[in-house]
Structure 1
Amino acid sequence: MSIKQHPFSLNLYITIISVVVFLTTLWGVYSHFSPVPFWDMWDGCLGFFLKASKGDRSIWFAQHNEHRILLSRLLFWLDLKYFKGVGVFLVCINILIQLGTAFVFVKVVSKRVKSDVYKTALYALIFCLLFSWVQNDNFIWGFQSQFLFVYMFALLSFYYLGEYSNKKKKYHLALALFFACCSTYSMANGLLTFPLLILQALILRNSKLSIAAIVFTAIAISIIYFQNYNKPAGHSSIVESIVQHPFFVLRFMCAYLGSPFHPVLKSIHIATVAGGIFIFGAGACGYLIIKKRLLDSVNVTMCIFLLFILGTAFATATGRIKFGIYAATAGRYMTPALMGWVTLILLSFLNRASLPQFIFKCAKFALICMPALLLTRQVKAFEDFSETAFNRKVAVLGVAHHQYDKTYFDRVYPHHSRIVPTLNRSIDQRLSVFASDWIKYNFDMISESSIQPDPCMGNIEATDPFQSGDSIAYRIRGWVWDPKTRTVPEVIILADEENNTVGYGISGEPRKEITKTVAGNPVNTGWVAYLLKSNVKSPISAYALTDSGLLRIPGVPVTFNDTFKVTSISEWDGEKPSKYEIISNEWKKEALPPQNELKDVQKLFGSWVEGDAFIGKIELIINASDDAKNLIYATGPDSKLQDIEFFDMEGKSLSRFNLPNSKEGYTKLSLQWNTDQNIKIVISDNGNSWGQWSALLIP
């Protein structure tokens, strides 16, 4: 007997998948945790807390884009006030909210499935879809509580109004109104809750007094919500979207509702078709339930929640179509889509005796296939997060020491200038991650006695300049491993030859080649340190801080040549590059990947020769007599192993570093040297992975 025919087999099958999904997602949440604030958390959490702490009461109700996230702000305040602000509390709350939503689903349908042979499978489906890893952004990102709150509160509101229609208990009506208010002040789509609550009350033939109470509360809440409301910039107009792009709005809606299939099947078209099937199925179920007058409180509650999901998809489509169809498949949008699928499948099973068998068979097919498809994505919960976690820590390590390193900080917030006051006050008050032990080293000197006689394993590999505000700063990179304790020391200290502390860093970057070749197979051995003082005396050595003292990291100490320096790294302003003489060239003219957006491609040499795998270099000489000495270059998305080295005419190396990443067009590298000698420059593409290429503009 097949699984389709045997309820016990189906119940067991869905339950096993559900348990695996739930447990692997919990592991994923744990292993993907980072204490570093991410994107909206900088202004939405830290910025809010700083203003609220100064007595700004209006900030509690202030807009966040189009939303008023009052309840989430309460959580942000609690996290920063009582839980160190590192996000553990917020991530735990995210899981609890989703658990709450799952139990509300169970509560809504429990009376109808008491003796149903598929009861276990239906309950398991709820937990399976609601905890699928495809929506992991809403679990691991501490800022996302409002995104989860709005659906839980809306469903609670609809549930309690259904209970009120059955039992006529006034507290049920009060709870329905309360949770509708909570939904409204979770996210903007919560504004749909009250209109749908009125519709639900009319369908369930509630008393005129109860309907009047809902209408009055809805009007009052809406007036408060839209007081001093400003339309967010950058969002499409609902009317314009409908009038000018009606079919794209529909396509966006379909992709949104079918988005859980996109990461699994890797096709936007399949996701769009799945969303179309969802809309058709929801419409068919709703029509047949009304036509056959199956309007009990459970069916009406579920149908109203389906309308809430559809309304959310419509509102998102009209406001976001300018970002393109793939914006509909963002991970955070998969939560409402999955809740919609759960609701539709539950409705079909609960009414299978009254609905056409075709609908029930389709729902049963979805019940069998969706968990299996989503299960394949759970392997992503085991992906190594250490590189992302390390990059985020480096980002805040830099700003904590007033070094704005765009290469790293853009990974946690792309508009640094907007939050400079928030950053400075957070650092001064040691809020959130800035209170962590690894963020500071408070000794100006290291003692000779603390330096252990035997060094650890490792290397000082590169010194990279980067633009920090109006000046050039330096990051130093390498790897470290203590074979005696078989550990990777976390803290890196930079010191000059007089043992003055001149820099600070942390380890934790994955270095697979080190893991493979070094005895003991150490992991995450890479480190990055920032030079925190200007005018330091070379040479500069690196030390690993351990419980037993400081271990010298092998490698050539960092030196700076007084005759040569990088003066700025900036976006190209159209200035002509310095004239140079090419003495050796393995690159080719116009050798760039297809669909690149660089201008003047006919005037450049590129290293994308028959693909990213090409390895080669270009050697040139810049004349010392040129007034302006600069190079105009571009890199691919991954600038690792794109190196530049400077030599005097006797072959002595003056400086060597990775080309700073140039994601948004050309970058101008301005140079200065105090000598009448020409300078030889070698730019090497040593990377053979995707996105590893460089280009140099011809003067």
Structure 2
Amino acid sequence: MMSRVLLYVLTFIALLCAASVVLTTLRAMYDAYLPLPFMDQWAVLSLQDCIDQLFSQHNEHRIVVFRLLSMLDQLLSSGTYLVNFYASLAMQVVHAVTFAALVYWAGVRGAANVILAGAISLGYMFWGGQWENFLYSFQTQFFAVFLAGTLAFAAIAAVRGWAGVGAASLCAALAVGSLSNGVLVCLLLPPLAIWLGRPRRETAVLAGVAAGLIALYLAGYQSPDPDLTPFAALLKPLTSLRYTLAYLGQPLEELLRVQIAAVQGHRHLIAIVMGGIGVGLGIFGGAVLVVRPSFATPARLVLLYVILFIAASAALTSLGRLTFGVGQALASRYLTPSLIFWLALTFLWWSLLPGRFRLLAPASAVCALMLMAGYGRHVDDVVHAMRLTRDGAATALLSNVRDDQEFAKIFLDPQVVAARADILRQKRLALFATPWAGWLGTPLVAHATLRPASACLGAFEGAQAVPDNPPGTAFRVTGWAWDPARAGAPEKILLVDAAGTIVGYGLTDGLRPDIVASIPPVTRQEVGWRGHVKLTGPTQVGAFILLEDGRSACPLGGSRLLGGPA
């Protein structure tokens, strides 16, 4: 009776925490969204870029899946990365459902257990600690490779006959075409097929397909760093081991780091210790399945092979990242596989533990979910930092201003941004696919109805010349704005010259506690805006809020004479 009550309590808490985690991440994705290429994305801007580079090597990876999604994004959403983001969300949902199904298949039956497993899976899959993979569309392949691995193992275990071989082979191909560690799926599938007792012909064909996929991956392969090879890394086994364990133990370290300040100085140690515990539990679980063959059901073997895949991925990553130090193993993007590692480990032991001890496994996961639900403020800080990094470059590009200081924040070589941006501008892709991007040089009244100044609060406060342009033609501009109707800051600012022509753009991304302290109607700090102006001669420039309906604008105080004597 007590265990039944505990199960219901755990399920209720897990549902609440999972809902909070999912909503926090979705809100962060919405707040951070800006269809602006970032770093690696500047290499793939158009449909032709995707076609030309489809099978090309990217560092040590073959990112075919990302490029196929980018092609689809070009066709369906003008390169605004919406297809990539929706694909990422769909992958995580499918992965969560797959894990819940595996728990049921492993013998943990009952509606409450399945709901609890689903809530835990969804919370883990959507935790905002993985912000790098959720907020950068280029990271879609991090979700893809691990989902493909799980589905490959599940297919060979659950689908009989040649259909299972075909499904597993397809998933293995998707894994190899996502990230380099996808080749591990090819290496693990044949042994799993043998353990499952698949017919020899099926196993032989599966092994042949796996070998072919590895050969395709290696065809024309060139080491991104000739001085750093896996063989050289093997000469530092202890460093590699520390990296691998930190990679696997990162989730609890990250959860504790944002809750307890004292943890900050011991991050590596905590991650390594937790990784060691995880590896120990994985080895123990695997040993149970080997020693007790009756326990080695297909579902449990799938969970075990997911654990092996993630652990092997961590080790493989360590071989190519040792020069960056153990701290690099704690990068946000690696939380995706390490969370899957712990999820598979938890669910394996959930199915193995006897009677009254069985709930220990999901109870530990629910405790982690409770910590994840309290992670929201850190996610907000990440989103704000991202906006500060990218918004300046966005307004410069929209305003047709060359600003190398801002461009350097979104790509290592500002000249590449300046040159490649013309592709986006000419084809109306990414940032330039948004309706307001085409308003530069046109009258404001052609796009928005003017509202009285009393409809909003704010000011145009400052301007600074941008040195990368002819003197007196380009300026960085700043100010603050508040929209009383929405009780918040407007997202978009339009800069207009004396003739009423739009000459620049601004975005709201700055914290202004001074405004909150001095102007009572303003209740939130996120009211600072910054942008760029491009001029052909001296003129008075004013700033307007583009109101939430997108069809009306409100003037801010403090217009300035730019392009001539101050």
SS in 2 for 1:78: helix
Deviation at 1:158?
Answer: 0.8
**Residue of structure 2 aligned with 1:492, choices 491, 494, 497:** 494
For the Cα contact (< 8 Å) 1:133–1:381, is it kept in 2?
Answer: yes
Q: Hey, what's the Cα distance between the residues in 1 that align with 2:516 and 2:336?
A: 38
Match of 2:101 in 1: 107
Q: Does 1:88 align with 2:92?
A: no
Change in CA separation of 1:241 and 1:81 when aligned onto 2, cut-off 3 Å: same
**Residue of structure 1 aligned with 2:134, choices 127, 135, 139:** 139
Equivalent residues in 2 for 1:314-329, closer than 5 Å: 314-329=315-330
For the Cα contact (< 8 Å) 2:535–2:563, is it kept in 1?
Answer: no
Q: Match of 2:350, as an amino acid?
A: F
Deviation at 1:505?
Answer: 2.3
Equivalent residues in 2 for 1:431-510, closer than 5 Å: 431-443=429-441, 457-468=457-468, 473-481=474-482, 490-495=492-497, 499=499, 501=501, 503-510=503-510
Q: Does 1:212 align with 2:204?
A: yes
Deviation at 1:118?
Answer: 4.8
Q: Does 1:195 align with 2:187?
A: yes
Q: Hey, what's the Cα distance between the residues in 2 that align with 1:37 and 1:367?
A: 37
Match of 1:521 in 2: 522
Q: Match of 1:403, as an amino acid?
A: V
Cα root mean square deviation, aligned: 3.4
Q: Hey, what's the Cα distance between the residues in 2 that align with 1:487 and 1:16?
A: 32
Pick which of 109-118 and 393-402 moved more: 109-118
SS in 2 for 1:32: helix
**Residue of structure 2 aligned with 1:16, choices 9, 13, 25:** 13
Match of 1:28 in 2: 25
For the Cα contact (< 8 Å) 2:452–2:554, is it kept in 1?
Answer: no
Describe the superposition over 1:17-63 as per-residue Cα deviations: whole angstroms up to 9, x where unpaired. 3443234423432343313335246235425x3424xxxx4421112
Tell which has more relative contact order, 1 or 2 (C-alpha 8 A, sep 6+). Answer: 2
Deviation at 1:516?
Answer: 3.4
Change in CA separation of 1:346 and 1:370 when aligned onto 2, cut-off 3 Å: same
Change in CA separation of 1:334 and 1:11 when aligned onto 2, cut-off 3 Å: farther
Unpaired segments of 5 or more residues in structure 1? 562-654, 656-699
Change in CA separation of 1:509 and 1:35 when aligned onto 2, cut-off 3 Å: closer
Q: Does 1:264 align with 2:263?
A: no
Deviation at 1:72?
Answer: 2.3
SS in 1 for 2:464: strand
Change in CA separation of 1:233 and 1:10 when aligned onto 2, cut-off 3 Å: same
For the Cα contact (< 8 Å) 1:72–1:186, is it kept in 2?
Answer: yes
Change in CA separation of 1:526 and 1:353 when aligned onto 2, cut-off 3 Å: closer
Match of 1:155 in 2: 150
Q: Which has the larger radius of gyration?
A: 1
Q: Hey, what's the Cα distance between the residues in 2 that align with 1:478 and 1:17?
A: 43
Deviation at 1:485?
Answer: 9.6
For the Cα contact (< 8 Å) 1:25–1:378, is it kept in 2?
Answer: no
Pick which of 21-30 and 70-79 moved more: 21-30
Match of 2:260 in 1: none
Q: How many pairs were matched up?
A: 541
Match of 1:426 in 2: 424
Deviation at 1:395?
Answer: 1.4
For the Cα contact (< 8 Å) 1:28–1:382, is it kept in 2?
Answer: no
Q: Hey, what's the Cα distance between the residues in 2 that align with 1:114 and 1:415?
A: 54
For the Cα contact (< 8 Å) 2:478–2:529, is it kept in 1?
Answer: yes
Deviation at 1:148?
Answer: 0.8
Q: Hey, what's the Cα distance between the residues in 2 that align with 1:320 and 1:18?
A: 37
Match of 1:250 in 2: 241
Q: Hey, what's the Cα distance between the residues in 2 that align with 1:412 and 1:72?
A: 19
Describe the superposition over 1:270-315 as per-residue Cα deviations: whole angstroms up to 9, x where unpaired. 1221111111111121123212223332222222211101110001
Match of 1:285 in 2: 285
Q: Hey, what's the Cα distance between the residues in 2 that align with 1:157 and 1:92?
A: 22
- In the superposition, the TM-score normalised over structure 1's length comes to 0.70
Q: Hey, what's the Cα distance between the residues in 2 that align with 1:12 and 1:337?
A: 27
For the Cα contact (< 8 Å) 2:173–2:213, is it kept in 1?
Answer: yes
Q: Does 1:70 align with 2:67?
A: no
Describe the superposition over 1:49-107 as per-residue Cα deviations: whole angstroms up to 9, x where unpaired. 3424xxxx442111222221222222211122112332333222211101111122223
Structure with the larger strand share: 1
Change in CA separation of 1:65 and 1:26 when aligned onto 2, cut-off 3 Å: farther
Change in CA separation of 1:109 and 1:173 when aligned onto 2, cut-off 3 Å: farther
- In the superposition, the TM-score normalised over structure 2's length comes to 0.85
SS in 2 for 1:258: helix
For the Cα contact (< 8 Å) 1:457–1:554, is it kept in 2?
Answer: no
Change in CA separation of 1:24 and 1:205 when aligned onto 2, cut-off 3 Å: closer
Describe the superposition over 1:432-478 as per-residue Cα deviations: whole angstroms up to 9, x where unpaired. 1112233343446789xx99996875434222234427978421222
Match of 2:276 in 1: 276
Equivalent residues in 2 for 1:345-356, closer than 5 Å: 345-353=346-354
Match of 1:303 in 2: 304
For the Cα contact (< 8 Å) 1:255–1:271, is it kept in 2?
Answer: yes
Match of 1:532 in 2: 534
SS in 1 for 2:221: coil
Describe the superposition over 1:368-414 as per-residue Cα deviations: whole angstroms up to 9, x where unpaired. 53223323324545669467447634312212344232443344333
Q: Hey, what's the Cα distance between the residues in 1 that align with 2:338 and 2:93?
A: 17
**Residue of structure 2 aligned with 1:400, choices 382, 398, 401:** 398
Deviation at 1:247?
Answer: 1.1
Pick which of 396-405 and 227-236 moved more: 227-236
Q: Percent identity?
A: 21
Match of 1:567 in 2: none
Describe the superposition over 1:558-606 as per-residue Cα deviations: whole angstroms up to 9, x where unpaired. 4755xxxxxxxxxxxxxxxxxxxxxxxxxxxxxxxxxxxxxxxxxxxxx
Change in CA separation of 1:379 and 1:6 when aligned onto 2, cut-off 3 Å: farther
Change in CA separation of 1:527 and 1:163 when aligned onto 2, cut-off 3 Å: closer
Change in CA separation of 1:286 and 1:531 when aligned onto 2, cut-off 3 Å: same
For the Cα contact (< 8 Å) 2:25–2:126, is it kept in 1?
Answer: no
Q: Match of 2:250, as an amino acid?
A: S
SS in 2 for 1:46: coil
Q: Does 1:174 align with 2:166?
A: yes
For the Cα contact (< 8 Å) 1:38–1:141, is it kept in 2?
Answer: no
Q: Match of 1:28, as an amino acid?
A: T
Equivalent residues in 2 for 1:548-559, closer than 5 Å: 551=555, 553-554=557-558, 557-558=561-562
SS in 2 for 1:508: strand
**Residue of structure 1 aligned with 2:55, choices 61, 64, 75:** 61
SS in 1 for 2:45: helix
Pick which of 373-382 and 214-223 moved more: 373-382
Q: Hey, what's the Cα distance between the residues in 1 that align with 2:359 and 2:100?
A: 22
Match of 1:635 in 2: none
Q: Match of 2:22, as an amino acid?
A: T
Q: Match of 2:281, as an amino acid?
A: G
Q: Match of 2:34, as an amino acid?
A: P
Change in CA separation of 1:235 and 1:465 when aligned onto 2, cut-off 3 Å: farther
Q: Match of 1:306, as an amino acid?
A: I
Q: Hey, what's the Cα distance between the residues in 2 that align with 1:484 and 1:247?
A: 60
Match of 2:121 in 1: 126
Pick which of 306-315 and 215-224 moved more: 215-224
Match of 1:224 in 2: 216
Change in CA separation of 1:199 and 1:15 when aligned onto 2, cut-off 3 Å: farther
Change in CA separation of 1:349 and 1:45 when aligned onto 2, cut-off 3 Å: same
Deviation at 1:488?
Answer: 6.0
SS in 1 for 2:225: coil
Deviation at 1:219?
Answer: 2.0
Q: Hey, what's the Cα distance between the residues in 2 that align with 1:425 and 1:406?
A: 18
Q: Match of 1:173, as an amino acid?
A: V
Q: Hey, what's the Cα distance between the residues in 1 that align with 2:441 and 2:275?
A: 59
Q: Hey, what's the Cα distance between the residues in 2 that align with 1:430 and 1:118?
A: 50
For the Cα contact (< 8 Å) 2:18–2:123, is it kept in 1?
Answer: yes
For the Cα contact (< 8 Å) 2:461–2:558, is it kept in 1?
Answer: no
SS in 1 for 2:371: helix
